[in-house]
Amino acid sequence: MNRSKLGLILIISLLFIYTCSEEISVKDKIIGKWKMIKVKELSEDVTERHNPDKNRWIRFIEDRNIERGGLFESGRDNVKENSGKWFYDKNENELYLDSDAGEDDDSYWLVTIEGNTMFWKGRKFEFNKRFEIEYERTD
């Protein structure tokens, strides 16, 4: 085999490994408990209205029986107020929350994680699109 073919095979292999590991790392990054830091509605900071006691959180739990996702819980202080399933679409960087509270509580979010900070931007539903939420990892 000549060097150019070997080089091409090596490059393709590295890209494949990087792509697969990126999917795993993004999905793995979301697992854990996150504290709500900031809420914006139409670019206006509305944190005081949606998290006045600065005690809201969400926890993502891995569940190998759920393809591309897991379970979630959310609440205030040590009280769980909601739960459901979450799904992550790596092609869209999109998080879908399928809430046990009902269809009206389901939501889609564009997700970015930078270190211990996670940013959400609402997607798909008109109401949801108005919001941006910032979380900080707590565990």
Does the structure show a pLDDT above 70 at 118?
yes
SS3 6: helix
Instruction: Report, as an integer, the average pLDDT of 5-14.
Output: 52
Residue 101, domain CATH = 2.40.128.20
SS3 17: helix
**The predicted structure's pLDDT at residue 125:** 85
Would you place residue 128 in the very low, low, confident or very high pLDDT band (cuts 50, 70, 90)?
confident
- Per the structure, how many domains does the chain have? 1
Contact 61, 71 (CB under 8 A): yes
33 closest CA partner among 56, 67, 63, 64: 56
pLDDT digits (tens, 9 = 90+) for 17-67: 444 444 445 677 899 999 999 999 999 999 999 999 999 999 999 998 988
**The predicted structure's pLDDT at residue 13:** 52
6 closest CA partner among 20, 14, 22: 14
Instruction: Report, as an integer, the average pLDDT of 130-136.
Output: 96
pLDDT digits (tens, 9 = 90+) for 88-112: 998 888 999 999 988 788 999 999 9
**The predicted structure's pLDDT at residue 25:** 53
Q: What is the DSSP letter of 101?
A: T
Which residue range(s) make up the domain with 93?
3-137
* pTM, to two decimals: 0.79
